[in-house]
A = this chain, B = another copy of it.
Amino acid sequence: MVFAQLCAAMAVLIVGSVALDSIKTQTEEHPDLLGGSASYAAVSASFFQPVDLVGIVGSDFPEHHLDLFRERQIDLTGLQIVEGKTFRWAGEYEADMNKRRTLHTELNVFESFSPKLPPAYRSASVILLGNIGPELQNHVLDQSERPEFVVADTMDLWITIAQPELIKLLGRIDLLVLNDSEARQLTEEENLIKAAKKILDLGPKYVAIKKGEHGCLLLSRTEFFSCGAYPLEVVKDPTGAGDAFAGGFTGYLASLNRSRFGFTDLKRAVVHGTILASFCVESFSLYRLTKLTKGELQDRYDRFRDMSHYDEESRAEFRI
Which A residues lie at the B interface, using CB under 8 A? 46-49, 72-73, 95-96, 190-194, 197, 211, 213-215, 217, 223-229, 231-235, 255, 264, 267-268, 270-272, 294, 297-298, 301-302, 305, 307-312, 314, 316-320
Contact of A193 among B231, B312, B319 (CB under 8 A): B231
Q: How many copies does the complex hold?
A: 2
A48 touches B190 (CB 8 A): no
Contact of A308 among B48, B96, B211, B308 (CB under 8 A): B308
A47 touches B294 (CB 8 A): no
A225 touches B320 (CB 8 A): no
In the complex, which residues of chain B have a beta carbon less than 8 angstroms from the beta carbon of A224? Answer: 231, 307
What is the distance, in angstroms, from A75's C-beta to the closest C-beta of chain B? 15
Pairs A–B under 8 Å by Cβ, sample size 18: A48-B317, A72-B320, A73-B320, A191-B235, A224-B231, A225-B310, A226-B228, A226-B231, A255-B317, A264-B310, A271-B311, A272-B316, A301-B316, A305-B311, A308-B308, A309-B309, A309-B311, A312-B312
B96 touches A190 (CB 8 A): yes
A298 touches B316 (CB 8 A): yes
B48 touches A310 (CB 8 A): no
A215 to B307, CA, bound (A): 14
A233 touches B193 (CB 8 A): yes
B255 touches A228 (CB 8 A): no
A46 to B318, CA, bound (A): 9
Q: A255-B317, A309-B308, A309-B309 are in contact. Are A193 and B232 (CB under 8 A)?
A: yes
What is the distance, in angstroms, from A112's C-beta to the closest C-beta of chain B? 34
What is the distance, in angstroms, from A108's C-beta to the closest C-beta of chain B? 32
What is the distance, in angstroms, from A276's C-beta to the closest C-beta of chain B? 10
B231 touches A228 (CB 8 A): no
